[in-house]
Amino acid sequence: MDRRYENPPIEVTRIWQEMGAPTVRTLDFETRSLERLYTFRRRAEVSQFLEKHPFLVPLLLEAYSEFGNYFGPYPQVFLEVVTDPEAADDRQLFAFISTRLSPDEALDRLEQFDKSWWLSALDRAEGNLCIHVEFL
């Protein structure tokens, strides 16, 4: 794969913003970009959740590049809507980073990820996104 075209929408948008050019992106376009990076579990449910919470889409695009700093380039990450069994109307989107690392190593890296990026980005998720590891 030609690395110049790996994630052009994000890079092009960043350049336009730096130049001061107006940027118009549709949720559908961004969601398709997400599907190139993430595996949607129960696609329709994840897509509906993202439609209801569109502010998560750019956050997830940004998060994916951060995952690579701790879990290797191109980590496999699953998106899944999880419902609290005690409160059916309480739903969150989970990003499960799939790994073959030992549990101790994976949780250490997740903690490093949390401290270096996620805790400062957490408010943008508005309580609708949880990030965790999943073991193969």
Q: Which two tokens stand for residue 58?
A: 């750019």
Please say if the pLDDT value at position 6 is more than 50: no
* Residue 73 DSSP one-character state: S
Domain count, the chain: 1
Q: What is the pLDDT of residues 56-102, one digit of tens each?
A: 999 999 999 999 999 998 999 999 999 988 877 789 999 999 999 99
- Range of weakest confidence among 4-18, 87-101, 122-136: 4-18
Contact call for residues 46 and 93 (beta carbons, < 8 A):
yes
103-113 vs 56-71: helix crossing angle, rounded to 10: 130
* Statement: the pTM of the whole predicted model exceeds 0.85: no
Domain containing 97: what range?
3-135
Predicted confidence at residue 2, as pLDDT, reads 39
Cα–Cα distance measured from residue 69 to residue 67, given in angstroms and rounded to the nearest whole number:
5
